[in-house]
Amino acid sequence: MSRRLLIIEDDPGLQKQMKWCFDGIDISLADKRDAALAELRRLDPQVVTLDLGLPPDPGGASEGFALLKTILELRPRTKVIVITGREEREHAARAIGMGACDFYQKPLDADTLNFVVNRAFRLDELEQENRRLSRHDASPLAGIIATSPEMLATCQYVEKIAGADITTLILGETGTGKEVIARAIHGLSDRAQAPFVAINCAAIPENLLESELFGYEKGAFTGANRQKQGKVEAATGGTLFLDEIGDMPVALQSKMLRFLQERVIERVGGHDSIPVDVRVICATHQDLGDMIGQGSFREDLYYRIAEMVIELPPLRDRQGDAVVLANAFVGQFSEQLKKNVKGLADDAVSAINCYRWPGNVREMENRLKRAVLMADGPYITASDLQLSDAPDQQAKPEALNLRQVREKAESQAIRQALLLSGNNVAAAARSLGVTRPTLYSMMEKYGLKGH
Ligand SMILES: Nc1ncnc2c1ncn2[C@@H]1O[C@H](COP(=O)(O)OP(=O)(O)OP(=O)(O)O)[C@@H](O)[C@H]1O
Ligand SMILES: [Mg+2]
């Protein structure tokens, strides 16, 4: 990325002198407040040098300080180097206190100024790199932030199956990231360059869903003035994501089944069978087993779409992920909304850990976006998050007795050890410091499986 510097200086002689000081930097000049703010928006400089003595107060520093405050409000990450007159050391201290990154005392010396400005660019680049690395650390797959053993195991599984053309069913509560996982599978597959086409079966009226999926021929129904391709064909070569498959009407389920078995479609009002090459991924938050029992979902379709099943745990069952996600969202929204929010206050961390997150990651995303927008200080507090209205009754320690607490912790530790050992009981027992028979009896108690 190019280095961009905005020089705010009202003396034309000094402007010229400064302009020739720097190599390999895009430079823009401004001599007063309005021009400076316009350039700030246009150039989006990483570094600004700001002469404190600007009109209408060239002999004082009031306009300079006011402008410093505005710049840091508009672009909190800007590195501002304040330039002061000879006798103005106290101004320098005040400017640093307000958030300027450095100061420089006149008279100007090209080498020193170059050094100070380059150091500010370097600082900015290091900060950016840090942000990038901290994001990357917690991101096992594109678009996914997670550090919990539960999600890391899921991501490993996704990497394994992505390359094979297996029809996959993704299960999970609302907002757990079913679509993100579907996109990650597509992105890791050989089909990544071809389209990813999503269709939400719950959002389209029953009578339109068939033509949305399979397309229609001219004259198929009133208003069908020309032939139209459906979503299945649009995904040719790529991936079709059938979201909320549990909401697909039973009549259409049999057409879907035929497509999955024979890999051909018929447009509505058409007679030709058109072969289509797509990979299918389905998702639902509903219990398809229950629906099969009630006759509202076809069992044979279930077995077709569930060649592989990925179950996304609710956020409250992902150890440690809530705070990791919250931090990542703070960073993301702080940057996006141009706020200078640095992180979470301690009481916010406790509030996040105690809350049930019924809307899972989507709720987390929305709440943190609002909190970052509303935050007055550099840290998000519990009250910014407004989680108190719906506290997690089940997570409250007083709701559990000691035996329940112990059993919950025990079963969680065992589940984690099994996950990390790939369900190898001997290895899990070793890591837990118990014998194999002990572990077996505990697994039986908690209904866990291994081999
Ligand atoms: N692990 C994650 N890391 C970062 N962002 C995530 C993660 N999981 C979900 N998100 C974000 O949360 C939001 C909801 O995710 P997504 O739409 O995939 O959920 P969903 O399970 O499909 O929800 P629904 O059942 O309501 O359709 C999206 O904005 C997504 O980017
Ligand atoms: Mg979804």
Terminal Cα distance for the chain, rounded: 52
| CATH of segment(s) 4-136 | 3.40.50.2300
Handedness of CA 308, 312, 313, 314 (dihedral sign): negative
Evaluate: CB of 201 within 6 angstroms of ligand 1: no
Probe target for ligand 1 pocket from 361, 364, 365, 366, with the most ligand atoms within 8 Å of CB:
361
User: From first to last of its 451 residues, what are the pLDDT tens digits of the chain?
Assistant: 689 999 999 999 999 988 888 888 999 999 999 999 999 988 889 999 999 988 888 888 899 999 999 998 888 889 999 998 877 788 988 999 999 999 998 888 889 999 999 999 999 988 877 766 665 567 888 889 998 889 999 999 999 999 999 999 999 999 999 999 999 999 999 999 999 999 999 999 888 999 999 999 998 888 888 989 999 999 999 999 999 999 999 999 999 999 999 999 999 999 899 999 999 999 999 999 999 999 999 999 999 999 999 999 999 999 889 988 999 999 999 989 988 888 888 888 889 988 999 999 999 999 999 999 988 888 899 889 988 654 444 444 444 567 777 887 888 788 878 877 777 899 889 888 889 999 999 988 888 877 6
pTM, whole model, 2 decimals? 0.64
The highest-level CATH class for domain 400-446 is mainly alpha
Evaluate: CB of 178 within 6 angstroms of ligand 1: yes
Under CATH, what is the fold of the domain 149-311?
Rossmann fold (3.40.50)
Helix residue ranges, H only, 53-200: 62-74, 89-98, 110-137, 149-162, 178-188
Evaluate: CB of 176 within 6 angstroms of ligand 1: yes
Give the pLDDT of residue 49.
96
Q: How far is the CA of 179 from the centre of ligand 1 (A)?
A: 6
Q: How far is the CA of 196 from the centre of ligand 2 (A)?
A: 14
| CATH of segment(s) 321-385 | 1.10.8.60
Evaluate: CB of 350 within 6 angstroms of ligand 1: no
Evaluate: CB of 315 within 6 angstroms of ligand 1: no
Ligand 1 atom closest to the Cα of residue 328 is: 4
Is cis: bond before 76, omega within 30 of 0?
A: no
Tokens of 117: 């400005």
Strand-pairing partners, residue 83, are 51, 104
Q: Where are the domains of the chain?
A: 4-136, 149-311, 321-385, 400-446
Q: Taking a C-beta distance cutoff of 8 angstroms, is the pair 47, 81 a contact?
A: yes
Is cis: bond before 56, omega within 30 of 0?
A: yes
The answer to whether domain 4-136 and domain 149-311 are alike in fold is: yes
Give the pLDDT of residue 134.
61
Give the pLDDT of residue 21.
86
Q: How far is the CA of 362 from the centre of ligand 1 (A)?
A: 6
Ligand 1 atom closest to the Cα of residue 365 is: 12
